[in-house]
Amino acid sequence: MDLVIKNCRLVDETGDYYIKVDEGKIADISKTPLEADKTIDAKNNYVLPGFIDPHIHFRDPGLTQKEDFKTGSLSAANGGFTTVFDMPNTLPKTNTYKALKEKIKIAESKSVVNFELMVGTNTLEEMEKMIKLNPIAFKIFMDLESDEQLAENFHNLGLLKEKTEYNGLVATHCEKKSIVEKETSRLKGKDENKAIDYSYARPAISEDESVKQAIELARANNLSLHICHLSSRKSLSLAKNASKTYPVSWEFTPHHLLLDNSSYNIYDTFIKTNPPLREKQDSITISDLDETSIIGTDHAPHTMEDKQKGVWNSSPGIPNLETVVPLLLTEVNKGNIDLNLIPKIFSENASKVYGLTDKGEIAIGKDADFTIIDLKKEGRFNIEEFETKAEYSPFDGVEYIGMPVMTIVNGKTVMDKL
């Protein structure tokens, strides 16, 4: 069945448009009426290229009490996302051919949105097998590996690029293991710990040193580098300078953009995440968003019990899929960012970095993935209305202006609040 979406507003275009969809692809874009078996009225709302979240944790398999691919993908659809990239730190880890094949099967059976899967590193032989299943990228958690292990892993990825069709893209969690271990040990020695101590146990310098190391290792091994959840101002400067001469990209989370470590005094361990919220002088802010930026939510749900085990034992992670778009549309309405950044930071830039050539823009021949937003819809977040299994959010109860009201994946409506 073909589809026409009528009364569409497009960013940077005047007037209303019709968009025709056929067999999951954009078949036509016109100011004059188009006909189809089915019609959706966008009601003069903005229709944007389907939003891509390149950083989520759906906890499936092995940790499905926190989230699974069904609830996670419903959460993504509810938040306006048409494509998500799941991380490899499940049980078992997605770092073998067998585990990757099993996760593909799980995701295919449960997901209501498009998905891509990241994989962890392993032996060169095992990684060669995984490449046959087309993972979107390799992910290295630098806070969990020694300098020697990191050097070996980056070296093996360089060899993998030479031997296979692997495109050489590596995504990194940048915190320096030795600094984190030293500072954590020091702070645990205090008579009493408060939640905010967690941010000092993983200080900005641990990220800065790790970013510097990741850039050097990627360059030495002819790899493209994507820095996940970049949170430190100095790290941003390092990444920007490196990107002038080498393929380096990065993403920001909503919590690092909008909050600083004073939030620990309000939300206690519910705000605990890695990397932690930064001291104000070290933290990135909304003003750091530009034409090259990417939003990656690092949607990382846990049970309420997991989040209340004290400073050191509470699980790190914040659910973000259903709050991030309204939060940033609110910033648009406040005049803090321009509307034309929204399709770039939520879709176009991630599709370019990760080579999703059929996504990221509204153009004939591209995938029929759309996020329709009502820029004036006002409300207040209510965690009880979310699709995620997580029952906590630092943004619960916060007022917003602007909301995704329809999510269309490959021409099929998966969320409708129009």
Residues annotated as part of the active site = 298
Among 17, 68, 21, CA closest to 45? 17
Distance CA 396, CA 161 (A): 44
Q: Both tokens of residue 288?
A: 């750091």
Q: Which residues contact 258 (CB under 8 A, 6 or more apart)?
A: 286, 327
The CA distances from residue 110 to 114, 320, 326, 382, 387, in Å, are 11, 20, 26, 25, 14
Asked if residues 5 and 22 have their Cβ atoms less than 8 Å apart, the reply is: no
Q: CA gyration radius for the chain?
A: 21
Whether the Cβ atoms of residue 137 and residue 95 lie closer than 8 Å to each other = no
Residue 369: C-alpha distances to residues 12, 16, 74 (Å)? 19, 19, 15
- N-term to C-term CA, the chain: 21
φ, ψ at 381 (rounded to 5°) = -60, 135
Which amino acid appears at position 297 of this protein? T
Which distant-in-sequence residues (6+ apart) come within 8 Å of 383 by Cβ?
Answer: 390, 391, 392, 393, 396
φ, ψ dihedrals at 5, nearest 5°: -105, 120
Q: What is the CB-side half-sphere exposure of residue 406 using CA atoms within 13 A?
A: 21
